[in-house]
Structure 1
Amino acid sequence: MTYDPTGHLLLTPVDQEAPARVRRLRQLGLGERPEPAFDAFADRLAEVTGAPYSMVNFIDENRQFFAGLHTPTGLHSGADLGAAASSGAVSRYMDRDHGYCPHVVVRRKALVLEDVCDYPRFAGNPVVDEIGIRSYLGAPLIDRTGTALGTICVVDTEPRPWGRAGLETIKSLAAELVEQIHRREEGRL
């Protein structure tokens, strides 16, 4: 568990399923390289939600990998997402204790944060100060084996009123991407 030393809030949840997830991701050939189909899906996520940043994110024990990434510049590099970060570009990798996707994977439920600063548990996350994230909308990618492979998410540097419509949209798009992953797996069999 990771605690904020000042407030003792749990920042990053314990992820008991990480080893099984990594095995499943390797079996599927996911989470180790960017893929044009996932970049295209991230582009669509951004278009549908109107968010400047969107990701198809696979998570292992130590890090997150954006196999699909949309940024305002359209470069799929993530450099503009990390422009405000003191450590430089985020690229397609992020530490597991940064961001909100690890919470979504462990909870196995969608998460809507219209303004992350309204939630003490999430306001202290490093992405708030280092990158400037102010709102988040994400849903888990749970495959046919019951494994939470990762997430799809959208973020903004401004608060966003995602509402119930945003929640239903992100959940529907997550189900759509899981079906795409299943079709991909069936093509390999």
Structure 2
Amino acid sequence: MVNKSVNKFDDWLNARLERCAGDANEDVHTYVARAVASRMLVDVRRTDQPVLRDLMAHLLDSKVLGETDMPGVEAAITDPDRLEALQATGLLDSGQDAVLDRITSALAQALDVPFAAVTLVDADRLLLKSVKTTTPDNFGGGQVPLEWSICQYTVAQGSTLALDDARIDPVFKLHPAVAAGTFVAYLGVPVKDRKGNAIGTLCVSDTKPRMWTAGHVQILSDFTALAAERAFGYAP
């Protein structure tokens, strides 16, 4: 029988814990394990980036964060023409980019969000090419496994992806990054070349729900055109 109490919790806190777990349709053990896993991700992102990929992989395999099956987009992500367009930019593994850094910084301010990024979606990884963040709970740089990427779905569908509250979205609530509490709201626009190949995204996210408007999308699209001009040497 699973112990439904937590050490150092009084009766009121343990009762509240049981209620919160019930509201999430989980038993207390699963609820606590998911919360601990989310905190581990936050701490590792802050202090031990080399371990991050292994931790993510183990959490996915163990299903601590719940069932994380998402729609398959492998065919679109591994499309040879798309990957060739990505390689041709010369942006992969090329270090910091001052132009893109200015774009993400201005975008974060324009949309009043704690996280803005230019991402590159490779065949098996997501590279955060430029990041502006004010919260340590988001991925602060480098790369993450593709399984933890929302941007791969923006790239695969080739159009704007807007999630006001991913926790209640029938599809994306299953995503591991959502279950881990990495973000709540997401807005992304694919960065495309003239042939329509999407190499990544310009995206923003928030740790609370956001009602994305047509104005928000227009601002993000305008900044995306600047990112595309930097990536391809011309405005698509």
Partner SS, residue 222 of structure 2: helix
Q: Does 1:42 align with 2:104?
A: yes
Structure 1 residues 77-97: Cα deviation after superposition (integer angstroms, max 9, x where no partner)? xxx134xxxxxx663211112
Structure 1 residues 134-180: Cα deviation after superposition (integer angstroms, max 9, x where no partner)? 00000000112321111000011100111222122222221232123
More helix by share: 2
Against the structure 1 CA distance between its residues 95 and 17, is the aligned structure 2 distance closer, same or farther, given a 3 Å change threshold? closer
More strand by share: 1
Q: CA deviation at 1:117?
A: 1.6
Q: CA deviation at 1:9?
A: 5.1
Quick check: 1:59–1:102 contact (8 Å CA) kept in 2?
A: yes
Quick check: 1:9–1:121 contact (8 Å CA) kept in 2?
A: no
1:112 corresponding residue in structure 2 = 162
Aligned residue pairs: how many?
A: 170
In 2, the alpha carbon distance for the partners of 1:81 and 1:31 equals: 24
In 2, the alpha carbon distance for the partners of 1:163 and 1:119 equals: 17
Against the structure 1 CA distance between its residues 166 and 37, is the aligned structure 2 distance closer, same or farther, given a 3 Å change threshold? same
1:81 corresponding residue in structure 2 = 137
Against the structure 1 CA distance between its residues 12 and 42, is the aligned structure 2 distance closer, same or farther, given a 3 Å change threshold? farther
Against the structure 1 CA distance between its residues 29 and 130, is the aligned structure 2 distance closer, same or farther, given a 3 Å change threshold? same
> What is the RMSD of the two structures over their aligned residues, measured on CA atoms?
2.5
1:61 corresponding residue in structure 2 = 123
Structure 1 residues 47-68: Cα deviation after superposition (integer angstroms, max 9, x where no partner)? 1111100100001111110111
For the pair shown, the structure with the greater C-alpha radius of gyration is 2
Q: TM-score, normalised by structure 2?
A: 0.64
Q: TM-score, normalised by structure 1?
A: 0.79
2:83 corresponding residue in structure 1 = 22
Q: CA deviation at 1:14?
A: 2.5
Q: CA deviation at 1:26?
A: 2.1
Task: Give the 4+ runs in structure 1 shifted more than 4 A.
Answer: 5-9
Against the structure 1 CA distance between its residues 30 and 184, is the aligned structure 2 distance closer, same or farther, given a 3 Å change threshold? farther
Quick check: 2:103–2:223 contact (8 Å CA) kept in 1?
A: no
Q: CA deviation at 1:182?
A: 3.1
In 2, the alpha carbon distance for the partners of 1:27 and 1:180 equals: 12
Amino acid at match of 1:65: L
Structure 1 residues 27-60: Cα deviation after superposition (integer angstroms, max 9, x where no partner)? 2201213322212211111011111001000011
Query: Where does structure 2 lack aligned partners over 5 or more consecutive residues?
Result: 1-62
Amino acid at match of 1:64: L
Partner SS, residue 118 of structure 2: strand
Amino acid at match of 1:139: V
2:208 corresponding residue in structure 1 = 158
In percent, how many aligned pairs have the same letter? 25
